[in-house]
Structures are given as C-alpha cells and as structure tokens.
Amino acid sequence: MNKFFKTSICSTLLISSFCYADIAVVVNHENNSVLSDSDISRLFLGKLKKFTSGGKAVAINLKLGSDTRNEFETKVLGKSASQIKAYWSKRVFSGKGKPPPELVSDKDVLSMVASDNNMIAYVDAASVDDSVKVVKVF
C-alpha cells in the first residue's frame, strides 16, 4: 500500500509539472518600458492605461477559455476565470472600463503586437518569435 501511495504521488507531481507552460508577456520591439509584475497586472485589469515610458497601453487577451489565458489569469492576475468575469462585469456596469479585446491564437496576438507599439499581450512562451519583445515570463 505504501509503495502504491508513493507511486501515485510521484505520478501526480510529474503530470502536474507538465500541465503548465510558461507564459510570456510581450510588447512591440519599439516599446522601451520597464514593467513590474504589478504594472502588468494593473494593465490587464484596466487600472493602468499607460506604459511606464508614458505611451498609451492597450492590453490584448487570448480568447476566453484558452489554457494560456486561464493560466495567465491565475498566475499573473491571481484570479480564476469566473472571478475575472465578475470583475469585468462590475467595471463595465459602473462605467469604469471594459475588458481587453480578445484574439483567437498566439499567432494573431504576436502579429497584432508586432504591428502596434501600444499593445501588450501574453502568449505561450513556446510561441514567441523575434517579431516581439518579451518583457516578462511567468
């Protein structure tokens, strides 16, 4: 019984370590802002509207329900998908903002960020190419 329990624990830990990929927060190469974890969170929660360099900031989300988005919301924003939905419902209702626009794929996100200096987004770190600059990996 003890051997079975140890094997089960080891298997669970091994599987869970493969379930989560790194998330890369990306900006346009022209963007020279230095962003803290708090800045990134505040940008995606609509509480910060400008980069540290002073330029306008537009956050881009991946589509609702994507694994990368779920992980980003948990790791970076510290909230579940349902908490984020409730958060944005309250902000929209009170007139304090609207959620970031959504794109379907990492490829779409990278293309959008590469074409606009005001964009900030996140993708699976394995998807990053040289068209964008990574400012943080979670």
Structural domain including 114 reads 21-137
Q: What is the CATH number of the domain that holds 82?
A: 3.40.190.10
Q: Tell me: the pLDDT tens digits for 62-74? A: 999 999 999 999 9
pLDDT at 104: 97
Domain count, the chain: 1
Lowest-confidence pick of 10-19, 25-34, 54-63, 93-102: 10-19
Annotate the chain with DSSP letters as a single string.
-HHHHHHHHHHHHHHHHHH---EEEEE-TT------HHHHHHHHTTS--B-TTS-B-EE-EEPTT-HHHHHHHHHTS---HHHHHHHHHHHHHTTS--PPPEESSHHHHHHHHHH-TTEEEEEEGGG--TTSEEEEE-
pLDDT tens sequence across 94-136: 999 999 999 999 999 999 999 999 999 999 999 999 999 999 9
